[in-house]
Structure 1
């Protein structure tokens, strides 16, 4: 009995962690960060220090730690030397002087990645037109004195999304833009702000053309089979292609802690390579053949998904694991993780400052260090293995990445663990079906559509979980972003881990969680709340932008005027108001803080028409408004002064611009805003877009009747509003749609004072959230998501 028991105990005992490569990985990462932030001289000094430390340890004999120190010192010195060699030409590059003067430069470049859309507004902080993308490239030549000269170095291009979005990695192009000095720690020579399409574009490499054909096939079958919300999710889930992902889905995933699902990581590679290995093992293939086929699948998937930091980390780690399989050695995960960190940072030092890379490494380290112990603790208390693993994996990953997430976003998700547990069972089937559809769709479209159709229920479940989690009360809590948030979250994580070690602490933690749950339930079922009954107009809280909703008198139906700068806030506002049908969406003028959130209105609702102003309609061609309207079966209409549109409880009169007016210059787009006056049960509402002094003078000179009980203050309350105009309106309530802490100084203190002197109650979305105006026996009232119903007298 003694022998078997002892052997069984030894076999079941947990293997000690192999930490030998961890100090080297941390040293290489630290040295790379230090060199990127301080320059090539400091990197060279680090290389010398590493070499001296390694040489000194050679004279220490009989000490096991000396070997580890030598290895760590050599790797740190190698990292420092390699970084110094790369940094010196960057810091002394001739184009750096051009960038410091902000001059225009003409370059031939070769793209090193696919263009990535910039989230939020367009260039110019919302004042420009059209969406922007960023793309990294290598400089091949620079145009100087009417001649092309060979050049090298990395450049970051800020480009128009519409004309550059289809380019692929490896393509070459010629372009001209304003040179800017790069900010932060990087190996960039300069940043180039480009405002025109690429010129002299070459064909992509064969591998990239093939990969794009596969990705395009998946997008096409997804669009033909799936719902609008799901059609952009499947490419993101399978190959990290988020080009079709709706802003509303991005917002839900962010609040629900599910953003990692659309960033290709080790999970995707594990599913793909695991499926290949299982298939070949079932066919009794020898380990070298199985590993070789899995390696081919890994390489193909990396090309298909692109070179994201998480993809590179997972690919290198997977390659090390496959090498161990070929050699017949069962390597542990921690040395593989440390090894791939070292290799990747030596090869691509800029990963040291990549948030995606840091999040990926932190999550993987948590799965290696925390998850086994936690799942073992649950199993010893009778929980099934798969359920224990499903619970601890997202909890460990979220705990480890929480400091970084808070530093980047300023928010901590309280529903992330639960959301990840609920979606985990469907991720692998959806991914396998999506990969199979990707491989088959370009050649056998019906079969690809069938596979995507089989993945539809899984995708809809993920979307449902994300939507419910994001809309739950206190889904996220705000915390300081940047460096101040890191120690706060680290202390919170340490306190949780400490409490989990003791029985009393676990009881205290459980009691706290129960209290939070009761609080959430109380918030969710409290009487009254938002929206208030009988609202006539609502100024949605969309940040630095405009979006107003007018009730038509038909349940679930409302007119929307402007959409704000992003889809998520307006979508959330309309959801809470119960708006499912929009007979008319009015876009006052083509600035991104008024139209860029259009998908938040169009997707998931029935929108009959999208209206723009009559003055200079061609300027809308630089936006994607027309395409989005057509894609959602909404008619495009033009409004001009004199038109009147009616609904049961709403009438809208168009006051400006005049349909016969001459086209305005690009810098006068604000004054070409649509100006509307709406008759509602709460009184007359004047909607002014962003008209400034010139536009206001034109309205006053034309003798247009401007008096109204409610005024949407022009241009977020900017100082370019005349007192004469405000006196002509003489509002009882002034609504200012403005973002908290904006950089424009909106609203002007002078304008707010003038409005109050005129007897108007000033209501600001940055202080009160969404604001509703309604009429009643007690006079005009306002209510908001930030304070209770109150009279405005």
Structure 2
């Protein structure tokens, strides 16, 4: 690339860096505006003078522009619905998206609406006032005779307006940011019968027609193929995981093929490639062929619903086709940079979107690394070298992102892309052809669908076999921003970037073999020393919503998990698999030495089976009570876990950290207590040097009284019992425990009213510093045995 194309890449990177910087710290708009004007004048002067010194002012200008754009984008109108969070109100607005219907029980369903708010009547007010913004409304319909509202309807709904809130843990996919990217600033849960349709929508909605058409295709598929095959084919054609067997999703993820279940750049490239081949076969000419391929990409994007990832893939596909038609394939880096710049200018929050990150990371890997990777495997057969180079280049481009978001890397993806991906591509082509044929001749379309189903069965069998192989997926640690920068610099050097005309890796090894060997030995020694050197004790209180989960990591990396959270109701969301296990992996925990469950309630033990399915658990300490469904699910996971009944006085040590069961179900005063009560919760004391942590589960007043009779030693940190309920944390117990810090694990806006104001007052009376997972997210204490410090995810 020449200088002009290089600078496009650098200014796009500067713009993205400005967005990232503004997301870390708050900046004053007048200051940013002044800096932007100053840099604009300097840049314009140097560009007019055709000076090469315009490079740095231009980079600074786009960096400030990114900061300015992000800061401006986060401003919301004064009448936005987000300002009414915490209030009960009646609001009126128009349903702005096709409602999503989920069957929850045989006779009930849940409907999610996106409402564009027009007016609101807060509880104290007597009349409606103007409002704006969008709100996500989840309504439960217990009776099928109740008809949900439709897209375009003007509705009126009343309820409590809540702020957007997800699980605030590091390494967690930020679903709140995903909603904000859609301009949704609040949420509400209500009953379907409270929603009144003020005016039925009478406007034309292509999205509603498209949704009905897609549902019709999905129902047609169910008539000729098994349910799971139909769900997989629907995902391959239109995106989404709905209805797909959980094991199939796991196998696709393990083999690195999960991206194919969402409409992405691979789909657009397949459609464009097929149409280009067709145009070449028909001898339509390069320009006509490119136009045909572009039309196909746009039509497919529309049929897939024009979701943000689909739009992004389509735009990238159209730019690539334009470059090919103009004979400018070598300008791909500049085209990629311009695409990223345009998308971030349209929506700066896309920078934090995992789909955006992976799409551009993989594409950048192909643009910058593919040719050299292909050259390095030139001795392989062409049918093998091409797919191998594509897979390796894309994976190298996104490795730090995969480490941060998933902490796992699928080496088997190279084999899967060579063996399985061609079959999947054939299924997509047949599926699209079947859809078109079905609309004209349903009988012939069904034949194509049956063939597609047979191929899907073959794909699922092969992916299951590959996923079951040893080391099909390996753990990789999160390396953070500094580690990622070092990785990309090293990768660039290995692929030919030579700053200051320095030697490459091959030249270095040939000219200085002993020095190279010494460097490798030194690096290995440093890594070994770093992994062996003891770290401070870390006690993590994970944000699991309305539940409990605490992770203890000892100085040499041993891990103990106390409770594992859990979801209420029938949402199907597994907190253990989706929240706790990713948190553990993010902090390098690949095995849990002890899992201690204070008791078997869903909000403490419901996630245990999900954790055990993702991370090895060596021992589990269980309360001596009738096993709840959550505990039974844990005990049925494989491999079999060693179960140890919990007794008062039981203790063990790991790396100098002492764990003691202070109170256990079935002992002493708790022997005759009902097993279903919270007061039977076990209590665990963790001691390291001068500091102790007391974890009380759901302990209530009666359990605290029993504990007081045998004596309660003071503690540094108290995990407040029963999420801060009114019936826990009695004054005598708090006086005896005298915690310097109090941690309340509680869900935002929970229906129980936790933590109770009286409990907070009692904690404040003993001058305990209060931390809450609903406000501060994950809370981490670190101690060297003498000193202690606390850090929170939400500052």
**Alpha carbons of structure 1 residues 386 and 160: separation in structure 2 relative to 1, 3 Å:** farther
Q: Which residue in the other structure is 1:375 paired with?
A: 374
Residue 219 (structure 1) shift: 1.7
Give the Cα separation in 2 of the matches to 1:30 and 1:169. Answer: 38
1:179 correspondence with 2:161: yes
Residue 21 of structure 1 aligns to a residue whose secondary structure is helix
1:106 correspondence with 2:91: yes
Q: Which residue in the other structure is 2:424 paired with?
A: 427
**Residue-by-residue CA offset, 1:460-506 (whole Å, 9 max, x unaligned):** 2332233233333444344555xx55655766777788789757999
User: Contact 1:179/1:192 (CA < 8 Å) preserved in 2?
Assistant: yes
Q: Which moved more, 1:718-727 or 1:71-80?
A: 718-727
Q: How many equivalent pairs are there? A: 553
Give the Cα separation in 2 of the matches to 1:72 and 1:27. Answer: 6
Q: Which moved more, 1:424-433 or 1:30-39?
A: 30-39
**Alpha carbons of structure 1 residues 300 and 40: separation in structure 2 relative to 1, 3 Å:** farther
Query: Which of the numbers 11, 17, 22 marks the counterpart of 2:9?
Result: 22
**Alpha carbons of structure 1 residues 211 and 497: separation in structure 2 relative to 1, 3 Å:** same
Residue 403 (structure 1) shift: 1.6
Residue 243 of structure 2 aligns to a residue whose secondary structure is coil
Q: Which residue in the other structure is 1:386 paired with?
A: 383
Q: Which residue in the other structure is 2:187 paired with?
A: 192
**Alpha carbons of structure 1 residues 254 and 386: separation in structure 2 relative to 1, 3 Å:** same
Residue 368 (structure 1) shift: 0.6
Residue 302 (structure 1) shift: 1.9
Q: Which residue in the other structure is 1:416 paired with?
A: 413
User: Contact 1:50/1:76 (CA < 8 Å) preserved in 2?
Assistant: no
Give the Cα separation in 2 of the matches to 1:175 and 1:505. Answer: 71
Q: What is the Cα-based RMSD across aligned positions, in Å?
A: 5.5
**Alpha carbons of structure 1 residues 496 and 325: separation in structure 2 relative to 1, 3 Å:** closer
Give the Cα separation in 2 of the matches to 1:745 and 1:464. Answer: 47
**Alpha carbons of structure 1 residues 167 and 244: separation in structure 2 relative to 1, 3 Å:** farther
Residue 260 (structure 1) shift: 0.8
1:315 correspondence with 2:314: yes
Give the Cα separation in 1 of the matches to 2:432 and 2:148. Answer: 22
User: Contact 2:323/2:331 (CA < 8 Å) preserved in 1?
Assistant: no
Q: Which residue in the other structure is 2:133 paired with?
A: 153
**Residue-by-residue CA offset, 1:302-348 (whole Å, 9 max, x unaligned):** 22223444322221222323444665655622122111111111122
Give the Cα separation in 1 of the matches to 2:681 and 2:74. Answer: 52
Structure 2: unaligned runs, 5 residues or longer? 166-175, 496-503, 521-561, 579-599, 614-623, 632-642, 648-660, 683-693, 711-795
Written as runs of structure 1 = structure 2, the 5 A alignment for 1:150-549 is 150-157=130-137, 174-182=156-164, 186=180, 188=183, 190-197=185-192, 199-200=196-197, 202=201, 205-324=204-323, 330=329, 332-379=331-378, 382-442=379-439, 444-480=441-477, 485=480, 487=482
**Residue-by-residue CA offset, 1:662-710 (whole Å, 9 max, x unaligned):** xxxxxxxxxxxxxxxxxxxxxx99555489xxxxxxxxxxxxxxxxx99
Give the Cα separation in 1 of the matches to 2:151 and 2:102. Answer: 15
**Residue-by-residue CA offset, 1:624-670 (whole Å, 9 max, x unaligned):** xxxxxxxxxxxxxxxxxxxxxxxxxxxxxxxxxxxxxxxxxxxxxxx
Give the Cα separation in 1 of the matches to 2:404 and 2:101. Answer: 22
Q: Which residue in the other structure is 1:611 paired with?
A: none
Q: Which residue in the other structure is 2:746 paired with?
A: none
**Alpha carbons of structure 1 residues 180 and 296: separation in structure 2 relative to 1, 3 Å:** same
Residue 390 (structure 1) shift: 0.4
1:31 correspondence with 2:13: no
**Alpha carbons of structure 1 residues 277 and 479: separation in structure 2 relative to 1, 3 Å:** closer
Structure 1: unaligned runs, 5 residues or longer? 1-13, 123-128, 512-540, 547-562, 570-587, 602-683, 692-708, 737-742, 758-793
**Alpha carbons of structure 1 residues 688 and 206: separation in structure 2 relative to 1, 3 Å:** closer
Q: Which residue in the other structure is 1:555 paired with?
A: none
Relative to the length of structure 1, the TM-score reads 0.57
Residue 367 (structure 1) shift: 0.8
Residue 472 of structure 1 aligns to a residue whose secondary structure is coil
1:139 correspondence with 2:126: no
Residue 567 (structure 1) shift: 12
1:51 correspondence with 2:37: yes
Q: Which residue in the other structure is 1:675 paired with?
A: none
Residue 134 (structure 1) shift: 7.0
Give the Cα separation in 1 of the matches to 2:45 and 2:321. Answer: 37
Residue 59 of structure 1 aligns to a residue whose secondary structure is helix
Q: Which residue in the other structure is 2:545 paired with?
A: none
Written as runs of structure 1 = structure 2, the 5 A alignment for 1:547-566 is 565=574
Relative to the length of structure 2, the TM-score reads 0.57
Residue 365 (structure 1) shift: 0.4
User: Contact 1:249/1:463 (CA < 8 Å) preserved in 2?
Assistant: yes
**Residue-by-residue CA offset, 1:428-447 (whole Å, 9 max, x unaligned):** 21111122223343553323
**Residue-by-residue CA offset, 1:160-180 (whole Å, 9 max, x unaligned):** 699999998777655444323
User: Contact 1:219/1:231 (CA < 8 Å) preserved in 2?
Assistant: yes
Q: Which residue in the other structure is 2:83 paired with?
A: 97
User: Contact 2:160/2:188 (CA < 8 Å) preserved in 1?
Assistant: yes
**Alpha carbons of structure 1 residues 287 and 496: separation in structure 2 relative to 1, 3 Å:** closer
**Alpha carbons of structure 1 residues 459 and 80: separation in structure 2 relative to 1, 3 Å:** same
User: Contact 2:92/2:154 (CA < 8 Å) preserved in 1?
Assistant: no
Residue 359 (structure 1) shift: 0.9
Residue 422 (structure 1) shift: 2.6
Residue 251 (structure 1) shift: 2.3
**Residue-by-residue CA offset, 1:554-586 (whole Å, 9 max, x unaligned):** xxxxxxxxx9948989xxxxxxxxxxxxxxxxx
**Alpha carbons of structure 1 residues 337 and 686: separation in structure 2 relative to 1, 3 Å:** same
Give the Cα separation in 2 of the matches to 1:221 and 1:505. Answer: 62
Written as runs of structure 1 = structure 2, the 5 A alignment for 1:741-756 is none
Give the Cα separation in 1 of the matches to 2:81 and 2:374. Answer: 55
Give the Cα separation in 1 of the matches to 2:486 and 2:414. Answer: 19
Give the Cα separation in 2 of the matches to 1:341 and 1:169. Answer: 32
**Residue-by-residue CA offset, 1:514-569 (whole Å, 9 max, x unaligned):** xxxxxxxxxxxxxxxxxxxxxxxxxxx996569xxxxxxxxxxxxxxxx9948989
Give the Cα separation in 1 of the matches to 2:22 and 2:314. Answer: 26
**Alpha carbons of structure 1 residues 413 and 280: separation in structure 2 relative to 1, 3 Å:** closer
User: Contact 1:132/1:158 (CA < 8 Å) preserved in 2?
Assistant: yes
Residue 266 (structure 1) shift: 0.9
Residue 377 of structure 2 aligns to a residue whose secondary structure is helix
Give the Cα separation in 1 of the matches to 2:283 and 2:319. Answer: 22
Give the Cα separation in 1 of the matches to 2:204 and 2:444. Answer: 28
Residue 289 (structure 1) shift: 3.9
Residue 378 (structure 1) shift: 1.2
**Alpha carbons of structure 1 residues 182 and 568: separation in structure 2 relative to 1, 3 Å:** closer
**Alpha carbons of structure 1 residues 727 and 407: separation in structure 2 relative to 1, 3 Å:** same
User: Contact 2:43/2:58 (CA < 8 Å) preserved in 1?
Assistant: no
